[in-house]
Amino acid sequence: MRIVIAGAHGQVARRLARLLSDRGHTVVGIVRSPGHEADLRADGSEPAVLDLETASVDEVAEVVTGADAVVFAAGAGPGSGAARKDTVDRGAAVLLADAAERAGVPRYLLVSSMGVESVADGARPEGLDDVFLAYLRAKRAAELDLLARAGLRTTVLRPGALTDDPGTGLVTLRRSVDRGSVPRDDVAAVLAALLDVEADGVVAELVAGSTPIAEAVEGLA
């Protein structure tokens, strides 16, 4: 398969690229900074330097043409304000979807976040700061946009709190799970496994657990 990863220099994305490359897939990584190209090549990815906050649909479509799937793993990142949560976590995700549809790419995996349900219908959970509220709302808006598209087979993955602990290969993966954490290694492994199954329209939350990843993913499909 040919897979394009947006936000390819992120910690989960780099793990995913290495997994896919090791399995013989062709991986294209979209990054904003030319300084990240060497890291992507070391991961086995073909770098594509493109700023998803300013790029046009045609520019992104050119990169994703011929792909079997796109994975949105980008994020505005720590220290960014509420405005960039919208332009990246929502706007860039939607732009990638527009480009995928234009280029005829069939699959879209969106890395979202646990907690998005708490801000549905304009709700504001007590104690949530403005920036994290904007982040959850942006992720929620991206989910709703993508899942409404008939032209894309979309799967949404909502990981819990991310850790750098070594992956265990054991997870809890269901439509709704209790709050918890999950190693980035296991998030990447779940994303790689999702690319091998039919999980159209599936929204799943992910934390550490006791079910082998292959079994957990097969249960979703």
DSSP element (H, E) containing 161 = strand 161-163
Cα separation, 45 vs 58, in Å, equals 22
**What is each CA distance from 59 to 36, 53, 77, in whole angstroms?**
19, 12, 23
Question: Which residue segment(s) compose the domain that 117 sits in?
Answer: 2-220
Each residue's pLDDT, cut to its tens digit, for the chain (221 residues) gives 999 999 999 999 999 999 999 999 999 999 999 999 999 999 999 999 999 999 999 999 999 999 999 999 998 777 778 788 889 999 999 999 999 999 999 999 999 999 888 887 777 777 777 888 889 999 999 999 999 999 899 999 999 999 999 999 999 999 999 999 999 999 999 999 999 999 999 999 999 999 999 999 999 87
On whether the CB atoms of residues 63 and 5 are closer than 8 A, the answer is no
C-alpha 90/C-alpha 158 separation (Å) is 15
CATH of the domain at 136: 3.40.50.720
> pTM, whole model, 2 decimals?
0.94
Query: What is the spatial distance between Cα 65 and Cα 220, in angstroms, rounded to a whole number?
Result: 28
Count of the separate structural domains present in the chain: 1
Rounded to 5 degrees, φ, ψ at 205 are -100, 150
37 contacts 44 by C-beta, under 8 angstroms: no
